[in-house]
Structure 1
Amino acid sequence: MRTWFEQQWQQLGWAQCLLLPLSWVFLALTACRKRLYQCGVFSSTRLAVPVIVVGNISVGGVGKTPVVLWLAEQLLLAGYQPGILSRGYGGKHHGEVSACSAPVLFGDEPVLLAQRSGCPVWVHAKRVLAGQALLDAYPACDVLICDDGLQHYALQRTIEIAVVHRPRGLGNHRLLPAGPLREPLQRLASVDLIIESGDLPDSAHTLPSFQLQLHSAHWLAVSDSSRHATVDILRGESLIVVAGIGHPQRFFDTLKQQGLQFESRVFADHHMYTPQDFAETGKKTILMTEKDAVKCRHLGLENAWYLPVDAELKPIGHTKSLMFCVLGLLEQRNGVRI
């Protein structure tokens, strides 16, 4: 069913016409909800430190996690002490996440963030509670990065960064369930900064905008990240690629660009792997994303490799650097936004 919807979201046809009335209801509900927060009917909490929300207006993966990691690294270099908040999609527990935490308990992305960022990471479906708990545990923290949560208006924010993936992320430009959008496209006009993670738009944004490019080096062993393999080595192997992420085709395209030929297996986003998922791989070499590797390290896979990626953010047009804009907004704003 999910696959069918994702296919329909990329086009305009009879299915979208049938679902369009439900999209109008969804629009009315989301607009009313936001207005109730703005009017104070629903409570919205301001935390003691600035909050930077990195989110999106569509469902599915758009590249937020590499952006959050990049932002955390740059804030550390600028002298800040950032903390990271996450909903922990797919997890069962809330609380502090460490590099050794189990993804099945806290979610795959929070564990990945804890492993890569070196910053305190806290998970809770209610980001306000996550932020308060993190600040209590780490009083030196002076800025919070919220991974996702653009629509989580219960948490007031200082800076909004929207990550947009074109064309797949925006699809047919319609709201759920007729399209992939959580909020109308006009929502992008109210954020502070826009990051384009796919094709560049036909026309320039009026807001500062940046192009996200992902770079990778060596493949690392899932069971021991100190071991690495080059693309030249992998080209001579019989390969099977597994992916339990949003929009796995982007990952497959990256491997094809490296000259790799492989068999692919697609799992649901945030899929929690078990030994049975690899029972029929035989002696083939297994490749996966870093997000998948986080959930496979305990499985004892002998010949499995993952590809870590790092974000590069280039200004579009005459915009200053992303970090210049972020630091400027942090210095300028004494208040917060809803």
Structure 2
Amino acid sequence: MSRGSGHAPRHWYADAPVPLAARALAGLYGAVAGLRRDLYRRGVLRRQRVAVPVIVVGNLVAGGSGKTPLTIALVERLRAAGWTPGVASRGYGRADAGTPRWVEAGTDPALGGDEPVLVATRTGARVRVDRDRVAAARALLAEGCDIVVCDDGLQHYRLERDLEIEVIDGRRRYGNGRLLPAGPLREPPARGEGCDFRVLNVGEATDLAAGFGEWPMWFEAGPARPMRGGRSKPLSAFAGQRVHAVAGIGDPERFFAMLRGHGIAVVPHAFGDHHAYTAEDLRFGSDLPVLLTEKDAVKCAAFATDRYASVGIDARLPEAFWVALLDRLPAAPRKESASP
């Protein structure tokens, strides 16, 4: 079952003809985007630097590729290395997109954005949403953050960055290889070659092959956490059962496949990325358990019942990746010890 808006056009990732109008618009889009990149490269448009290191996690395609799980893992790893990270995000799909806002675990996703709320909930880090990422980075600096992680923003060239990480969907990659709207690409694939790190979202730990300078990233599923309170259950507790599975992410099939891999009989319900849920969306006509991604669960808390559970994932990467990334950064600032 597939509902909601925001699904990729069929010709992006399937063997389907590209409309002529989309091809013409892609040529115009490519010219404008290329001119903008060139103006920044030549210094006609000026980049702005903030007084702390900036790491941008992004992708070249429209839609999800695993950026947010990597952002969460990056924040946690930086904190373990002695940094105080803050997260800057546009907060895609916010109702008041023009208003800068601090996002916390209890922020309404309609105001803060589903992904920023998830990042704040999982990490406890300071999260700032703002169309102007330079302003967001400066706000984080004023709050005591000594390193900024941008969740998305590879194309936001005005903010100078110290490291760029491109995240690639290992299953869909660059689709048909065309620029928007003829294909999914916001920039040509060659843009990724200039990034400091390229992370390949392989999805499953059993498929870790990566090459061409790409680091594999895989996901480990957590337990199913009831959204109305109660004890968490391992996914194995649902093995052999039918469940409604809800995913409004870039590639819903990844979530469904993960559940099937635990022996769960999935009744799939795919929605568009960043879908704004209503209670009516989740009335499925049966009393089966409902398993949602964490990103979807933050938007469904108001009308969840005791049948609803959130399934989180943790991004995992080779230890060598973290060593290489931290080696590219200066030493974390020394924190002053509290007085006894």
Q: Same fold (TM over 0.5)?
A: yes
Deviates more, 1:164-173 or 1:66-75: 164-173
Match of 1:195 in 2: 199
**1:283 Cα shift?**
1.8
Aligned to 1:119: 125
Corresponding residue to 1:214 among 219, 224, 228? 219
Q: Give the conservation status (yes or no) of the 8 Å contact 1:213–1:312.
A: yes
Deviation of the 1:68 alpha carbon: 0.6
Contact 1:240/1:281, CA 8 A, preserved across alignment: no
Q: CA deviation at 1:2?
A: 6.6
State how far apart, in whole Å, the 2-side matches of 1:15 and 1:46 are: 40
Deviation by residue 1:276-298 (Cα, 9 ceiling, x = unmatched)? 22334442211110111111122
State which of 184, 188, 193 in structure 2 corresponds to 1:184: 188
- Is the partner of 1:29 in helix, strand or coil? helix
* Residues 195-204 or 166-175, more deviating: 195-204
Q: Which residue of 2 aligns with 1:223?
A: 228
C-alpha distance in 1, partners of 2:34/2:85? 31
- How many Å apart are 1:84 and its aligned residue? 0.5
Tell me whether 1:253 sits opposite 2:257 in the alignment: yes
How well do the aligned residues superpose, as a CA RMSD in angstroms? Answer: 2.3
The aligned residue for residue 312 of structure 2 is: 308
Distance in 1 between residues matched to 2:255 and 2:209, nearest whole Å: 24
The corresponding residue for 2:81 is 78
Equivalent residue number for residue 336 of structure 1: none
Given that residues 22 and 182 in structure 2 are in contact (C-alpha distance below 8 angstroms), is that contact kept between their aligned partners in structure 1? yes
SS at match of 1:288: strand
AA aligned to 1:331 is: P
Aligned twin of 1:31: 34
Q: 1:41 deviation in Å? A: 2.7
The residue identity in structure 2 corresponding to 1:204 is G
Match of 1:129 in 2: 135
The 8 Å contact of residues 59 and 169 in structure 1, kept in 2 or not, is answered as no
Is the 8 Å Cα contact of residues 169 and 180 (structure 1) preserved in structure 2? no
- Share of identical aligned residues, percent? 38
Between 68-77 and 5-14, report the one with greater CA deviation. 5-14
State the one-letter code of the partner of 1:48.
A
The structural deviation recorded for 1:3 is: 7.2
Gaps of 5+ in 2: 332-340
- Equivalent of residue 89 in structure 1, options 92, 97, 100: 92
| SS of the residue 2:318 aligns to | strand
- Counterpart of 2:72, as a letter, is L
User: Within 5 Å, which residues of 2 pair with 1:98-109?
Assistant: 98-109=104-115
Amino acid of the structure 1 residue aligned with 2:244: I
Deviation at 1:203, TM superposition (A): 8.1
Q: What is the TM-score when the length of structure 1 is the normalising length?
A: 0.88
- Aligned equivalent of 2:61, options 58, 61, 66: 58
User: Gaps spanning 5+ residues in structure 1: where?
Assistant: 316-320, 333-338
Looking at structure 1, the residues matched to 281 and 7 of structure 2 have their Cα atoms a distance apart, in angstroms, of 23
Distance in 1 between residues matched to 2:22 and 2:297, nearest whole Å: 37
Q: 1:67 aligns with which of 70, 79, 95?
A: 70
Give the Å deviation of 1:237: 4.2
Offset of 1:31 from its aligned partner? 0.7
- The 1-side partners of 2:116 and 2:93 are apart by 10
What is the match of residue 266 of structure 1?
270
TM-score under structure 2 length normalisation: 0.88
Q: Aligned-pair distance for 1:217? A: 3.0
Following the alignment from structure 1 to structure 2, what is the Cα–Cα distance between the partners of residues 234 and 202?
30
Q: 1:202 to 1:23 in 2, by over 3 A?
A: farther
Match of 2:337 in 1: none
Q: CA deviation at 1:190?
A: 0.5
The alpha carbon displacement at 1:17 in A equals 5.7
Where 2:329 maps in the other structure, the secondary structure is helix
SS in 2 for 1:28: helix
Paired position in structure 2 for 1:284:
288
Q: Aligned pair in 2 of structure 1 residues 2, 307: CA closer, same or farther (>3 Å)?
A: closer
